Structure 1
Amino acid sequence: MSAFGTNTGTRVNSIAPQDCNVPQAGNDGISSLKWSPAANFLVSTNWDGGVRCWEVQEQGGQVRASPKAQVNHDSQSPALHCCFSPDGSTVFSGGADKAVRMWKLGENPPGGIAQQIGNHDAPVKAVGFLQPSSLVVSGGWDRKLKFWDMRTNNPVGTLDMPERVYDLDVRGNLMCVITANRRMMIYNVGTPQPTLVQNKESPLKFQSRCVSCFPDQTGFAIGGVEGRVGIQYVQKVGNKDHFAFKCHRKDNNAFSVNAIAFNNQYGTFATCGADGVVNFWDKDNKQRLKGFNPIQRSIPCAAFNAQGNLFAYASSYDWSKGSGYHTPGSPNEIYIHYTPENEIKPKAKR
């Protein structure tokens, strides 16, 4: 295994002093962050059951975020994941109420509860949008993938998974699903029925935590609890091959890789960990582009905007150690980091 770099420095509240502290970030841990593909609207899901939206403005590297609206899952059940429709008009979310929900931005649903379009027999851990078929896909701890057309509460399709779904990501025709017991399922969703391309064991030795597809759809990155990331190719690309590297480690301690976020413009990516560290990476040249000093709390989720110049990340407890390590009343914050080109663009080969 290779290690691209290490981190040093003192702990602060944000990875950079000028980062925008997003107001009204919620009352419990932040479980996911997603940007609209059409505009700078940022949406979060929280363990307090909220699905929140902000309008973000950037000028000359200065960032402002304004709260716009909020909906909730039923009975304040934790909201665990979200995604946008391709036109940015609609947010889909899944949560511990076992529901898949839809929120059309600008609408105020009855009681502030987002409209339910689907359900599972256990919490819904991940959702995605399949652009080729205009279906919503959801993965649950009931070991099911379900597909919804938003006009009926009955799924138009169901796939059995080998274990509980921990994460999924969709990019164009590529869908990657990771489950418990270190399984990975790769699908082509550009066909009338999702076609299984690969069903294999994770390259990582321990529990999978997150997965993210490459912008060019040739492969994906998977992160695990042991502080490693695996780079996997679905399609053969030149002389490139699978590899894994160590990150989010300090001394003999390994920290969970909680999120992997790709930059659409350059194909580079960020990793965020339970160690409170953010790193920017270039997988093609196998190098770290930027390492930030660790912050005071774990970083559970992160995302780049469509343009690639804004990087949102959360600072809150990630529940990786269970309820015994949760401190009630501890801060839950979201920051937005303006990302200049020299931080995220691949460097010229020496």
Structure 2
Amino acid sequence: MSFIRKTLPSPVMGSLSMDVSLPADAEDTISSVSWSPVANHLAAASWDGKVRVYDVNANNGAARGAAGLAAEGPVFDCDWAKDGSMVVAGGVDRKLHFLHLATGQQATFGSHDAPIRGVRFVEVPGVGAPIVASGSWDRTVRFWDLRQQGPLATVACKERVYSMDAKARLLVVATADRLIHLFDLQNPTSIAKAVESPLKHQTKVVAAFPDGKGWATASIEGRCGISAVDDAEASKINFTFRCHREQPDSRQISKVWSVNDVRFHPINTSVFTTAGSDGTFHFWDRVAHSRLKGYPPAGSAITTTAFSADGRFFAYAVGYDWSMGCVGNSPQIQTRLMVHPVSTEDATPRRK
């Protein structure tokens, strides 16, 4: 069910003039960015097989390189430990890689039978140690206790894992064939619920609500969906809407762009962002069902995004996302990592 009107009023358009470009040292598309929960440290995973960590100045958003790790192939995802002490990353080489920030030491721990598509540090009640969840194209989600070599648990999914996210008690996993798997982290050894995506085409990304009571789904069709975990809340929370689509031309043909990422603001938790292959990002209010602010194209597709822990900064990567195939790639497309200072207009919820 869609509650946002098909023809939206023009949103307040922002400017990118205050956005800061971080050191341009990634040699290929940036696939994932993640902020430390306790500091302005930003990790960026790339198809060049590296994860770089930047120390971002809280006053102006400028940054310097702080640390990094190297894998044996493209890296698809990265995430921080809850105490900000280390970064986990996974990708094509099927291994979990860890970087300890204070010492710069790297370690490899655990593996899958196919490339790893998603990694998250999760909190499992009753386990007094960091737990990592990893999702793979081998159709499994594995949970790792860093005190032991083998997986704590391996859970079979119905298809290849395309995206995953975790907040509070919820781990949400999107797979091929438009399937969504929900895990209750109080009992992570089994899938609590499996549902179909509310969207009609291939899932690109999922993001959990900050309180773990719902999630967002975005797809290649220029559409996003909001869903509740509890079926009793569905009538109040669930809706879908169109985004990252251009107005029809004279032949009534509209360009539809993939939605490459969706993220929730960590403080004003009803506010979220979408970013797409059209190179734009937008701020939305899921409760008021409205768009708060939009920004003009950044020059190329936006491939991944993340909010800092205090919500003051919004990081986004610009580069080629392969949505147009080989013919769309060009040496002129630069890979850039940007930091956008979040304004009051960006992140203030709107009364319905």
| TM norm structure 1 | 0.91
> What is the match of residue 281 of structure 1?
284
CA shift, 1:171, in A, is: 0.3
Which whole-Å CA distance do the structure 2 matches of 1:293 and 1:8 have between them? Answer: 11
> Which digits, 9 at most, give the CA deviation of each residue in 1:68-100, with x for residues without a partner?
1111102xx101100111001110000111111
Instruction: Work out whether residues 270 and 279 of structure 1, in 8 Å CA contact, stay in contact via their aligned partners in 2.
Output: yes
> What is the match of residue 208 of structure 1?
203
Which whole-Å CA distance do the structure 2 matches of 1:318 and 1:67 have between them? Answer: 24
> What is the match of residue 264 of structure 1?
266
Which whole-Å CA distance do the structure 2 matches of 1:20 and 1:206 have between them? Answer: 34
> What is the match of residue 70 of structure 1?
68
Which residue identity does 1:288 align to in structure 2? R
> What is the match of residue 198 of structure 1?
193
CA shift, 1:220, in A, is: 0.3
CA shift, 1:107, in A, is: 2.7
Instruction: Work out whether residues 4 and 247 of structure 1, in 8 Å CA contact, stay in contact via their aligned partners in 2.
Output: no
Which residue identity does 2:30 align to in structure 1? I
> What is the match of residue 335 of structure 2?
332
CA shift, 1:172, in A, is: 1.3
Q: Which moved more, 1:132-141 or 1:323-332?
A: 323-332
> Which digits, 9 at most, give the CA deviation of each residue in 1:83-134, with x for residues without a partner?
111001110000111111111113334xxxx411111111111001111243
Instruction: Work out whether residues 228 and 234 of structure 2, in 8 Å CA contact, stay in contact via their aligned partners in 1.
Output: no
Which residue identity does 1:234 align to in structure 2? V
Which whole-Å CA distance do the structure 1 matches of 2:151 and 2:315 have between them? Answer: 33
- Map 1:312-323 to 2 at 5 A: 312-323=315-326
| 1:232/1:258 CA distance change after superposition, 3 Å | same
- Map 1:154-303 to 2 at 5 A: 154-191=150-187, 193-235=188-230, 236-237=232-233, 240-250=236-246, 251=248, 252-267=254-269, 268-303=271-306
Partner of 1:343, secondary structure, is helix
| 1:138/1:285 CA distance change after superposition, 3 Å | same
Partner of 2:346, secondary structure, is helix
| 1:6/1:31 CA distance change after superposition, 3 Å | farther
CA shift, 1:330, in A, is: 3.0
Instruction: Work out whether residues 36 and 84 of structure 1, in 8 Å CA contact, stay in contact via their aligned partners in 2.
Output: yes
| 1:310/1:151 CA distance change after superposition, 3 Å | same
Partner of 1:342, secondary structure, is helix
Which whole-Å CA distance do the structure 1 matches of 2:174 and 2:133 have between them? Answer: 14
Which residue identity does 1:47 align to in structure 2? W
Instruction: Work out whether residues 155 and 189 of structure 2, in 8 Å CA contact, stay in contact via their aligned partners in 1.
Output: no
| 1:237/1:48 CA distance change after superposition, 3 Å | same
Instruction: Work out whether residues 90 and 116 of structure 2, in 8 Å CA contact, stay in contact via their aligned partners in 1.
Output: yes
Instruction: Work out whether residues 8 and 293 of structure 1, in 8 Å CA contact, stay in contact via their aligned partners in 2.
Output: no
Which residue identity does 1:218 align to in structure 2? K
| 1:341/1:160 CA distance change after superposition, 3 Å | same
> What is the match of residue 85 of structure 1?
81
Partner of 2:345, secondary structure, is helix
Instruction: Work out whether residues 4 and 245 of structure 1, in 8 Å CA contact, stay in contact via their aligned partners in 2.
Output: no
| 1:239/1:123 CA distance change after superposition, 3 Å | closer
Percent sequence identity over matched residues?
A: 35
Which whole-Å CA distance do the structure 2 matches of 1:156 and 1:138 have between them? Answer: 11
Partner of 1:170, secondary structure, is strand
Aligned pair partner of 2:118 in 122, 126, 133? 126
RMSD of aligned Cα (Å): 2.1
Which residue identity does 1:330 align to in structure 2? I
Stretches of structure 2 that go unaligned for 5 or more consecutive residues are: 249-253
CA shift, 1:285, in A, is: 0.4
Instruction: Work out whether residues 218 and 237 of structure 1, in 8 Å CA contact, stay in contact via their aligned partners in 2.
Output: no
> What is the match of residue 45 of structure 2?
45
| 1:322/1:125 CA distance change after superposition, 3 Å | farther
| 1:68/1:285 CA distance change after superposition, 3 Å | same
- Map 1:145-156 to 2 at 5 A: 145-156=141-152
Which whole-Å CA distance do the structure 2 matches of 1:43 and 1:34 have between them? Answer: 5
CA shift, 1:239, in A, is: 6.0
Q: Which moved more, 1:266-275 or 1:14-23?
A: 14-23
> What is the match of residue 99 of structure 1?
95
Which residue identity does 1:222 align to in structure 2? T
Which whole-Å CA distance do the structure 1 matches of 2:8 and 2:190 have between them? Answer: 38
> Which digits, 9 at most, give the CA deviation of each residue in 1:189-225, with x for residues without a partner?
123x444222011110000000001112110000000
> What is the match of residue 115 of structure 1?
107
Stretches of structure 1 that go unaligned for 5 or more consecutive residues are: none
CA shift, 1:346, in A, is: 0.5
How many pairs align?
Answer: 337
